[in-house]
Amino acid sequence: MKYSSCGRGDPLTSATGASQIALQLRLRLSESVRVPRREGKTGPDLPSKASQSTPPTSAAALCQDQHMRLAAILLAAVLLLSDSSGMLRPTFEEDAAQAVSTWRTSGAAEIWRKGFVPLEDLSMMSRKVSEQINNEYGWVVAGPLPAPPAEAQIRWDGGSTMRVPVIGPREAMLALSPYPDENIFPDDEEYKLTGAAFTTTRLKTTRGMATVPAWRLYFSNLAGPIDHVAVDQKAIGTIEDAVGDHLAADVTDFGVLDEHILLVKYEYGFCIGEEPPDVTLRASEKPDVVVLGLQLPFQGYGTCVGGEAERSQGVVRLDQPLGDRVVLDERSRLPVLCRRTQNTCHAGHG
């Protein structure tokens, strides 16, 4: 009697092999779990039609197909006979471990400690000017502008310095605008940049207060100048550049009530017509970071007709004092402070 390669010695005949195949199926099925999340990346792309239509041709491929079919039957039985809550999506502990690994190995932690990471808005102006530009007009150059230097220096109050490339005055002006630079506006709905001077300003960063290069922008129809930080963030790299593609964050902000207690704000989604799920706020502590996130119950299969967003807050008690540890969001793998100002972890608009 001849035995096929799918017989004795095959991975499926061992508990380990079967569990590995079942795990692959769980990961595939988890993409269809209907836990509505807010906007953001949603996972790996589906295979193309070409890849879906190509049948297995080798004996090994045929065996793998048989294994997957059998494992699917076994997994279906498990789902029917057991409590499936939490089976089809990563646990908080798994996501938190991934967030910590990404933070430590991607270069993000190095940028946070030794790079330029602003914790304040990059534009400074008087209250009167701020009220004027609430009218979202266009921004145009209406006069000669100086050329930018090749680079400039950031100086922290602690004595450390960093040489950085800088943007020009036109780029600084466009950073103020919510519109693409090719948009055209009526003449009486434009803020007209007539001059600029290269200067410095004070800014709070992850490394403390610093004196940073800036452009002082003068407009013919505004009540005063606007200072904008001139550091070219796209050139030096940001936290988001290091972390790469990421999901939208669950945790939106936090406050320190005392060294052991954090007040955490968060948001989550659920299907229209259903009761909001019971959400548990979780924390994972490491020597260098604290990871915050949500634990959501299993919410069934399929897709929602529509989703609703819920915002809430809760208290997290830490085992150790927070100190100077960075607080990360478990889902996005980014520092929660990235949400406070637009350019803390991101260069440019959007």
Structure tokens at 253: 């902000």
Residues 6+ apart with CB under 8 A from 227: 123, 124, 125, 199, 201, 214, 215, 216, 217
The domain that contains 131 carries what CATH number?
Answer: 2.40.128
Instruction: Specify burial of residue 332 (Cβ count, 10 A radius: 0-12, 13-18, 19+).
Output: buried
Whole-number CA gyration radius for the chain: 26
Mean predicted confidence (pLDDT) in 141-168 = 97
Domain residue limits at 215: 118-237
Domain termination residue (choose one: 34, 53, 81): 81
38 with 124, same domain: the answer is no
Specify whether the CB–CB gap between 217 and 193 falls below 8 A.
yes
In a domain, 317, yes or no: yes
Q: How does strand 208-219 pair with strand 190-205?
A: antiparallel
In a domain, 109, yes or no: no
CA distance linking residue 328 with residue 103, whole number of Å: 9
Give me the amino acid identity at 178.
Answer: P
Q: How does strand 307-317 pair with strand 261-271?
A: antiparallel
Residue 69: strand, helix, or coil: helix
Q: Please indicate whether residue 238 or residue 78 has the higher confidence score (pLDDT).
A: 238
Number of residues assigned to the chain: 350
Residues 6+ apart with CB under 8 A from 152: 163, 164, 166, 198, 213, 230, 231
Give me the amino acid identity at 92.
Answer: F
In a domain, 167, yes or no: yes
User: Which of 201, 208, 206 minimizes the C-alpha distance to 231?
Assistant: 201
197 with 133, same domain: the answer is yes
255 with 221, same domain: the answer is no
Domain termination residue (choose one: 205, 237, 269): 237
CA distance linking residue 66 with residue 58, whole number of Å: 12
CA distance linking residue 54 with residue 7, whole number of Å: 25
pLDDT tens track for 241-298: 999 998 889 999 999 999 999 999 999 877 877 777 788 999 999 999 999 999 877 6
266 with 231, same domain: the answer is no
Number of domains present in the structure of the chain: 3
- CA end-to-end span of the chain, whole Å? 66
**At 143, is the pLDDT very low, low, confident or very high (cuts 50, 70, 90)?**
very high
Domain termination residue (choose one: 190, 215, 237): 237
CA distance linking residue 348 with residue 323, whole number of Å: 31
CA distance linking residue 156 with residue 202, whole number of Å: 10
Q: Minimum mean pLDDT among 180-184, 214-218, 301-305, 314-318: which range? A: 301-305
272 with 202, same domain: the answer is no
Q: Minimum mean pLDDT among 13-17, 111-115, 305-309: which range? A: 13-17
pLDDT for 178: 82
In a domain, 199, yes or no: yes
In a domain, 129, yes or no: yes
CA distance linking residue 283 with residue 320, whole number of Å: 12
pLDDT tens track for 185-195: 888 889 999 99
- Helix or strand (DSSP H, E) at 77: helix 59-81
In a domain, 112, yes or no: no
E strand segments, the chain: 123-124, 138-141, 151-156, 161-165, 190-205, 208-219, 226-229, 251-258, 261-271, 280-285, 289-295, 307-317, 326-329
**What DSSP character marks residue 189?**
G
